[in-house]
Structure 1
């Protein structure tokens, strides 16, 4: 059952712009021992997305309370929050939409993440590339058809995740995770000013790395940048960080960066 504008229900009007145009944003948070991990950061993400999409949502305290209440009683789980512009009028204009809709749901925590953290994962280069659009880059909007296609191709392979490039051929992210790679003490991560999602855990990792012995560089890099990497890791708010052991013919065994980030990221479960 979903919580839609504070009511337990599982229906949404066909006129809602989330259905009509994918007009909204969302975030996916980890539940641990009844708490929402990084709750303030998830609220901040949604606020930033609404501002960028010009969605007039203002009930932030109500939403934060509903998120916290929804997590109670769950030892683990996944909390998804969607904000839609709501219903109103016909066509692309949202001028008459003054009542955004908030939608909350809880699902089971993915059991394979523990295995991924222990064994590492494999990547496969996706044939689907992300379009570059600075107006939408970084935010987690509801238009996810690119990711749906990326996932469809990934499902036909033996890989665990996809290495995704943008339309110019630059490494951008994975299907559902952000990406870091290490050469010596230098840690690289893709610039996300043209495409991709600036994930909650990516932001947290950047904060931790800024106060470490590693030097972080945000780059526009082609796929072959990973050839010289000593280590590759991926992250999202649920994993929260996972080592990559292979991508195509390339293999990585070092876990120096992973062992630095993993305990810090796991602490977010109780923050």
Structure 2
């Protein structure tokens, strides 16, 4: 860990009365830092604002937060920034009556070098046996209630695969353990709809902006089994091709060509 702070103070602890700990009452975002700059910072700030509005977490000065983040990250050539906002500290019970101001946690940590290897060589992907619940109120939001992902990651740790494809209770493709997913079928690009489950990632939104021909669909396993190529993406790993899905070899050259194409679009 390079840097940690809570409400501007460089500490590595937080009160046991924090509602993020007690109830998962908060939101977060994770960004890539490159050459002292936070990539897509405006989108990460927008994500935090959207989450705070949804969860009614008030009194966050986002202009000051953005300035703090820029200052904190200046000295890092390559790192990972994580920002957590909880609703604050409170007593026993779900009610927010009497809760303190929000707590803002900033963490800067080492960049996972494996992602650089993944970007070039691709990853292996299999199916998770754990399915995401249906919750349209929170779908798309990166909130602190991540127990489903913890269990899915535990399942992944028992395998030799790099990642797992995750469905929801409707048997619809949603995401992987920590990334959004895209695939090419007959040279058309597809990605799952994020309305009932899952996280709508920053990189996902950038790909949709740069490549508006992408089809957002409700898809089943049978749909992705027809894919010519597959890739996963999040803010840290960016675009990572899948070289093998459930034992089937895939074309990663198409993914590298697509990545080069959208890299030239502002």
CA–CA separation in structure 2 for the residues paired with 1:120 and 1:204? 21
The counterpart of 2:206, out of the listed 194, 198, 204, is 204
Q: Does the residue aligned with 1:7 lie in a helix, a strand or coil? A: coil
The counterpart of 2:161, out of the listed 122, 136, 159, is 159
Structure 2: segments with no counterpart, 5+ residues: none
**Alignment pair present for 1:4 and 2:2:** no
Relative to structure 1, the CA distance from residue 24 to residue 265 in structure 2 (aligned partners, 3 Å threshold; closer, same or farther) is farther
The superposition leaves residues 56-112 of structure 1 with CA deviations (integer Å, 9 ceiling, x where unpaired) of: 143101110111111111100000000000012321112332510100011000010
Tell me, yes or no, if the aligned pair for 2:133 and 2:169 is still in contact at 8 Å. Answer: yes
**Alignment pair present for 1:88 and 2:90:** yes
State the partner residue of 2:174: 172
CA–CA separation in structure 1 for the residues paired with 2:92 and 2:226? 52
Tell me, yes or no, if the aligned pair for 1:172 and 1:192 is still in contact at 8 Å. Answer: yes
State the partner residue of 2:197: 195
State the partner residue of 2:61: 59
CA–CA separation in structure 2 for the residues paired with 1:264 and 1:26? 27
Runs ≥4 in structure 1, deviation > 6 angstroms? none
Relative to structure 1, the CA distance from residue 187 to residue 263 in structure 2 (aligned partners, 3 Å threshold; closer, same or farther) is closer
Q: Does the residue aligned with 2:211 lie in a helix, a strand or coil? A: helix
State the partner residue of 1:113: 115
Q: What is the Cα deviation at residue 16 of structure 1?
A: 0.4
The counterpart of 2:216, out of the listed 215, 218, 226, is 218
The counterpart of 1:25, out of the listed 21, 24, 27, is 27
Q: What is the Cα deviation at residue 185 of structure 1?
A: 3.3
The counterpart of 2:184, out of the listed 182, 185, 190, is 182
State the partner residue of 2:125: 123
TM-score (norm 2): 0.95
Tell me, yes or no, if the aligned pair for 1:26 and 1:46 is still in contact at 8 Å. Answer: yes
Tell me, yes or no, if the aligned pair for 2:242 and 2:252 is still in contact at 8 Å. Answer: no
- Alignment RMSD: 1.6
State the partner residue of 1:241: 239
Tell me, yes or no, if the aligned pair for 1:240 and 1:266 is still in contact at 8 Å. Answer: no
Relative to structure 1, the CA distance from residue 143 to residue 88 in structure 2 (aligned partners, 3 Å threshold; closer, same or farther) is same
CA–CA separation in structure 1 for the residues paired with 2:59 and 2:216? 32
CA–CA separation in structure 2 for the residues paired with 1:57 and 1:169? 39
CA–CA separation in structure 1 for the residues paired with 2:243 and 2:135? 31
Relative to structure 1, the CA distance from residue 254 to residue 36 in structure 2 (aligned partners, 3 Å threshold; closer, same or farther) is closer
